[in-house]
Amino acid sequence: MGHFLSLFFFAFLQSFFLVNGNNDNLTHPPLVPINRDLYHSSGDLMEMINGLVHRHPDKLTMETIKSINKGYQAEISVITYCRGRKDNDDSSKFRILLSFGQHGRELISTELAFRILSILSEEQFLPNVDSASLNSTLDKLVIKIVPMENLNGRKIVEAGDLCERRNGRGVDLNRNWSVDWGKKEKDYDPYEENPGTGPFSEPETQIMRKLAISFDPHVWVNVHSGMEALFMPYDHRNTTPDGVSSHQMKLLLEEVKRLHCQNRCMTGSGGGSVGYLAHGTATDYMYDIIRVPMAFTFEIYGDGAASSKDCFKMFNPTDLTTFNRVLNDWSAAFFTIFKLGPQQLGEVHSKVYVPNRDTEESIDEYLNGYLMQRSSRHGKKMEVLDVGLQEMRTYFRLFLLSSVLLLFMFCSRIAKSKSSRSVLPAMPL
């Protein structure tokens, strides 16, 4: 009888765990993998972009910039759009710099880069857009597009780590810039926000800074996914900047929202709208240090109902209809930026354009060579000053910490010395 009861109890436990296991599977469905029918691999995407450049040499050029730091190497491809390739006339044109794929898991952003390049090369077309008007707008522009800023991180995602946003050695490239670098909020997550060992410690960020300084754009847009939003500075504060430039950015974002977001998009400062502050971001650096008049971060898609572990679904459309809607809506939004940006800023100020060259250099070579020779458009060594201030802050913190430790040791020594002395009786008078 006892043996029978034992067998019955064992069978009951097996049934219990089996049922609960099945319920758990129903509650937590399997994670969505990359949809290979919709999304190109990083290699295929860059090959297709290279094909566009090869077929349209009158409009597109491509360069690859390399950098290495402590054995970690990165390279970034930059595609320049300029009708007629009138390189000697670039300084009189309105300049726009766009970056996609800064976080590896956000595949939809790199697909948008390819769609925009296809439209610029006239292999695809925007619906309901007059081609003569579009060509008139594009004649006045030089556009540089970085279709995949974080190639090393993207390869990690393609290998199966669908939640990876950092670069090939675990640094978040959108926390590695120098404006308010290294500050950590109470909910800081090193997996999500590791800022690196110092400002510009990463080759990818070094390359992007060099590109921004030499190109000196009027408009910068950093393209991400995770929600639908149109953000302007600041990310490290919950306020927007003061002044005319801030007002112009707000007007432009409101118009883009009205025309292309169907009022779905959140607008305002990144720090004031998204619910948390981000320190060391590219957009804050572009606005504060490079002095880009219009600096934005666009978030082009997000599935708020997806599990936080289901990263491909959270950051990327998984069906063809949504995929096409996102690319169509945001392609049109960028061409609105191309048209309205120059109008909002008015007269284009004369700026010197310095074309990039393919280069491979260490961070030390960059800081000691190229960086020391560059000046801001105001004639000030803003880069050198910025890095110098970061170094001074670091040394000052170390000095304060050392001083506190020395003071503590000194006080402890005095207290110990006093307690060890023998107490002598008082002498009578």
Beta bridge mates, 227? 301
Indicate the SS3 state at residue 299.
Answer: strand
End-to-end CA distance of the chain: 98
CB–CB of 294/341 below 8 Å?
yes
As a whole number of angstroms, the distance between CA 306 and CA 185 comes to: 25
**78 phi, psi to nearest 5 deg:** -125, 125
Instruction: Kindly name the residue from 204, 299, 361, 383 that is annotated as catalytic.
Output: 299
Tell me which residue has tokens 């669908």.
Answer: 162
Strand, helix or coil for residue 123: coil
Residues 104, 153 contacting (CB under 8 angstroms)? yes
Measured CA to CA, the distance from residue 53 to residue 145 in angstroms comes to 12
Closest residue by Cα to residue 389 from 128, 220, 180: 180
d(CA 219, CA 60): 19
Question: Comparing C-alpha atoms, which of 326, 346, 344 is closest to residue 336?
Answer: 344
Coil, helix or strand at residue 230: strand
Give me the helix-helix angle, 244-260 and 320-345, nearest 10°.
150
Phi-psi sector, 132: left (phi>0), alpha (psi -120 to 50), beta? alpha
Residue 299 annotated as catalytic: yes
Active site residues: 299
